[in-house]
Structure 1
Amino acid sequence: MGLFDSFRAMLGISAESDATTKADPEDLFGMSTAYLTMEADLRFDSADEAALCFSSVDSTDFADTVDAVEDILTAGGEETGTEFRRHTDGHGYNWVVLADDDPEDLVTSVHFAADEFIERGYGSRLLAALFGFERDGDRAYWIYSFRRGAYYPFAPQGTSTRNQSLEFKLESVLDGELTIEDDESYWYPLWPSTRNGHPWE
C-alpha cells in the first residue's frame, strides 16, 4: 500500500465509520515521556523533526486558519527556536514540518498547531502527527492517527518494506505509556519517497 492508498483509506467511508474514538490533542503530550523511554529502553534518539499532516479545504476561512497556525508556530519559534516549513506533496496533502533538537518543543509545537485546527472547526481535516527517531542508521516513527485517536509504530526499511519485528517491539515497550491502536489493520504505512528520507519529505 502506497502513501496515496494509505491516506485514501484514512479518509474513506470505512475509516469514517470506524473512527469511534474522538481524537484529543492532549494525547500528543504522551509523546513527551515516550521520547525518554525510546532513548533509555530502546536506544533510539530523536530525529529532531516531527510533522503534522492535514488535507485542505478550498475556502477563505480554511486559508485563514492555516495562516493562524503559521502565526502561532512563528511566535512559538521565537521563544524555543523551533523552525517549521510547510509544503504540499504530490498527492495534494499538506504538511507542517517542525525541526528542533528539543523533543519537548516538537511535541508542544505539534499540539499548538493541531489544537488551532480543532478550535477553528477543522479537526476533521487532521490526518496524522508523526514523530521521528533514529538508531544506528535505522529510522522509526510513532504516528498519531487523528481518525482513530491512537498511536501506532512504523519502522520503514527503504520505500516499500517495513520492519514489523521492530514495530512490535516498540508496541510492547510503549504500551500503557501511549494509547496504541490495537487493530493492526490501521497501522497504515506512510512510506518515504527515498530510502533515507522521511515520510513528510
Structure 2
Amino acid sequence: MGLFDSLRSILGTSAEADATRAADPEDLFGMSTAYLTMEADLGFPSAGEAALCFSNVDSTDFASTVDEVEAILDAGQEETGTDHWRHSDDYGYHWFVLSDSDPEDLVTSVHFAADEFVERGYGSRLLAALFAFERGDAGEGEYVYWVYSFRRGAYYPFAPTGTSSRDSKQEFKLQSVLDGELAVEDDESYWYPLWPDRAGAHPWE
C-alpha cells in the first residue's frame, strides 16, 4: 500500500463510517509529554520536524483558510522561531511542514494550524499530524513517527524501514510504552503506513 492508498483509506468510506469522533486538535497536546518519554525511556529524541497533512477543497473560502493558517504560523514563527513551509505531494495531498529544535513549539504550532481548519469548518479535511523522532538504533537518517489520525481521534506508531516495509516489532514496543500517555489506536488495521518516496526520507518529502 503506497502513500496514496493509505491516505485514500483514511478518507474512504470505511474510515468515514468508522470515525470515532470529529477532529479534536486538543488531542495533539498529548505529544507535549510523550516526546520526553520517547527520548528518556526509548532513546528516540525528537527529529525537530512535524507535519500536518490535509486534503484540498476547490473553493476560494478554503484557499482563504489555508492562507490564514499560514499567517498564523508566520506570526508564531516570530515568537518561537518555528520554521514552516507548504508542500504538495505527487498524490494531490497537501502538507504544512514545521521545523523546530523545541518539540513543544512543534506541538503548539501543529495545534494552532489544525485548530484554524476546525474553526473555519474544514476539520473534515484534516488527515493526519505526524511527529518525527530519530531512530538511534537504526543509524543516521532513520525515523519513527507518532501519527495522529483525525478520523479516528487516536495516535498510532509508524516505523518505516524503507519505501514499503515497516518494523512492526518496534511499533508494538512504542505502543506498549506510550499507551496510556497517548490515546493509542487499539485497532491495528487503522495503523496506516505513510511511506516515504525514498529510504531515510520523511513521508512529506
Give TM-score, length-normalised by structure 1: 0.99
Q: For the residues of structure 2 that align with 1:59 and 1:92, how far apart are their CA atoms?
A: 15
- The equivalent of 1:125 in structure 2 is 125
Give the Å deviation of 1:135.
Answer: 2.6
Distance 2:162 2:8 in 1: 22
Shift in Å, 1:139: 1.3
Q: Which runs of 5+ in 1 are unaligned?
A: none
**Equivalent residue runs for 1:1-201 within 5 Å:** 1-136=1-136, 137=139, 138-201=142-205
Unaligned runs of 5+ in 2: none
Distance 1:38 1:12, change over 3 A: same
Matched to 1:44, the amino acid is: F
CA contact (8 A) 2:23 2:118 kept: no
Count of residue pairs the alignment pairs up: 201
1:48-100 superposed Cα distances (whole Å, 9 cap, x missing partner): 00000000100000000000000000000001000000011000000000000
Alpha-carbon distance in 1 for matches of 2:169, 2:204: 23
The structure 1 segments of at least 4 consecutive aligned residues displaced by more than 3 Å after TM superposition are none
User: What letter matches 1:167 in structure 2?
Assistant: E
Q: How many percent identity over aligned positions?
A: 77
